[in-house]
Amino acid sequence: MKHSELRREVCLLNRRIVDSGLSMLTWGNASIVDRASGCFGIKPSGVAYDDLTEDSIVVLSIETGDKIEGPLRPSSDTPTHLELYRSIPGLGAIVHTHSPWATIWAQARMEIPCFGTTHADHFFGPIPVTREMHPDEIRNDYEHNTGRVIIEKFSSDGINPLEVPAVLVASHGPFVWGKNGNEALDNAVVLEQVAKMALQTGRLNPDAGPLSEALLSKHFLRKHGKSAYYGQPDEQ
């Protein structure tokens, strides 16, 4: 992919965060990786979404993290994106927001339970929340360590990040991903909705339990994986 095409796609993806009601002001950011050329594009730091242009998108090397193109400073969350791209080969795009309902769960430092099939259609289990970061992790290389605690959570709990493509960073907010920009944004939109529904479910019925393993597996696997049968085949 040419850098100009990558920057165009990243600009569009970031604008769609606002169009989808997931962010305001300069909150959040999105990136897309081009593994064939070893680089990724990301929103510049502190730039309002309405002011974004293709030329303002920053392109960086996956290997070194150095800037390749772009006149502006990249998002302050760039080291987090870089850590995720380096650690999870299947990632194609990352969306980070401070969307209200998902952020409420992150601030409460609680995972989002899988109460129903709407959740199970997109996430194969609860949305995990990271541990709180230690003071030294915050003081030194904070954004890089944010990525590390995300990877730590998935690794320690044996969660497949391609089956649960979202995480809540404790006291911070959600990071969501997908194979491409469209999928990452869709997952961010769904995450916000299931966060809202889960909170209201718990209020309505504090004794509500998680979805059964049978129903969870049925709904996730009918849309994902080798035996998926939801929707239409890629080739007619």
Domain range summary for the chain, segments of one domain joined by + = 3-221
CATH assignment of 3-221? 3.40.225.10
Confidence of residue 61 (pLDDT cuts 50, 70, 90): very high
Pairing of β 39-42 and β 166-169? unpaired
Known catalytic membership, residue 230: yes
Q: What is the DSSP letter of 223?
A: T
Computed over every residue of the chain, the mean pLDDT equals 94
Structure tokens at 224: 């994902």
Active-site annotation holder among 50, 141, 230, 234: 230
Of the candidates 196, 11, 201, the one whose C-alpha atom is nearest the C-alpha of residue 99 is: 196
Instruction: Give me the pLDDT at residue 56, please.
Output: 95
What is the predicted pLDDT for the residue at 228? 82
Phi, psi angle pair for 44, to nearest 5°: -75, 155
pLDDT of residue 235: 53
**pTM for the model:** 0.93
Listed as own residue / partner, the contacts of 151-157 with beta carbons closer than 8 Å and 24 or more positions apart are 151/83, 151/84, 151/87, 151/88, 153/128, 153/129, 154/128, 157/128
181 pLDDT above the threshold of 60: yes
Task: Tell me the pLDDT tens digit for each residue of 69-79.
Answer: 999 999 999 99
Clarify whether 121 is annotated catalytic: yes
The pLDDT value given to residue 236: 40
Active-site position among 19, 121, 141, 207? 121
Helix ranges (DSSP H) in 47-180: 78-87, 100-108, 117-120, 135-139, 142-157
* Digit-coded pLDDT (tens) for 185-220: 999 999 999 999 999 999 999 999 999 999 999 999
